[in-house]
Amino acid sequence: MVPWSEGTTTRAGGRHGLPWRAAGPIVVVLLALSGFGLIGASFTESPPDRPPQPPALADSPVGAAAIGPDTAQPAPSGRPRSAPSQIVIPKIGVNASIMKIGTNPDGTVEVPPLDQAQLAGWYEPGASPGEVGNAVIVGHVDSAELGPAVFFSLGELRPGDTVGVIREDGEQVDFTVESVKSYPKTEFPAELVYGSTDQIGLRVVTCGGVFDEAAGSYPDNIVVFATQAQ
């Protein structure tokens, strides 16, 4: 797929940028960037409501005890590759179409256009939902044009909740939430989100924390770690 052009994607920076740069198959954190915030730098007003946040962690948000599901499980056999077309999260009322995203010319990860903040984006260079590996779906938390966006309520999810992904081949893959974590953007766990695994995983990412009016961005990222439902 041809990547979305600079005119239709949001780069890192402002309120909605991504903190990762693709380096071959691995993505590393760009500490100099503002992170995966998901709203434009032109946003000048506070959002109408504060997005819900995951519970505070007892330990450091990047500690070994806070990094998502245990992977010491038998390796499953995955489905053939097929792009996702829709994400359904019943608990928070999400039923959204998914577009394909890749990387910008500078290596940062693309995000859906701000005027389409009701859509989610699937990181196409990674696994597709249902394949062995971590499928990554990102989305805006809010938008200057639309207000609360597709993943505004992502922080409400808790272990045991269900995320369904419908694929272009017509199959639906259901995932069970294992954990929901909040990370400072400068400590984004790129390896846990994009790194290799022998499990069938899903990572759903948006912005989090209290909106910083001075900086015009959110300080954190919310990451939902989920595995294929049994």
Nearest to 224 by CA among 157, 152, 165: 157
Given 3-state DSSP classes, what are the helix, strand and coil percentages for the chain, each rounded to the nearest 5?
Answer: 10, 35, 55
Of 37 and 156, the structure prediction assigns the larger pLDDT to 156
User: Could you tell me the pLDDT band of residue 215, with boundaries at 50, 70 and 90?
Assistant: confident
- Collapsing DSSP to helix, strand or coil, 33 comes out as coil
Domains and CATH numbers, the chain: 6-43+79-228 (2.40.260.10)
Phi first, then psi: what are they for 43, rounded to 5°? -65, 120
Looking at residue 181, its pLDDT comes to 97
**Its pTM surpasses 0.85:** no
Query: In the block, which residue shows the tokens 């989920």?
Result: 226
Looking at residue 40, its pLDDT comes to 31
145 φ/ψ sector (left φ>0, alpha ψ -120 to 50, else beta): alpha
Residue 45 clears pLDDT 90, i.e. is over it: no
**Mean pLDDT over all residues of the chain?**
78
Of 98 and 15, the structure prediction assigns the larger pLDDT to 98
Could you tell me the CA-to-CA distances from 110 to 6, 169, 203 in Å, in that order?
9, 24, 16
Of 194 and 48, the structure prediction assigns the larger pLDDT to 194
Query: CB atoms < 10 A from the CB of 99, how many?
Result: 21
What's the pLDDT tens digit per position in 111-133? 999 899 999 999 999 999 999 99
Residue 43 clears pLDDT 70, i.e. is over it: no
Using CB atoms within 10 Å of the CB of residue 77, give its burial: 0 to 12 exposed, 13 to 18 middle, 19+ buried. exposed
User: Could you tell me the pLDDT band of residue 72, with boundaries at 50, 70 and 90?
Assistant: low
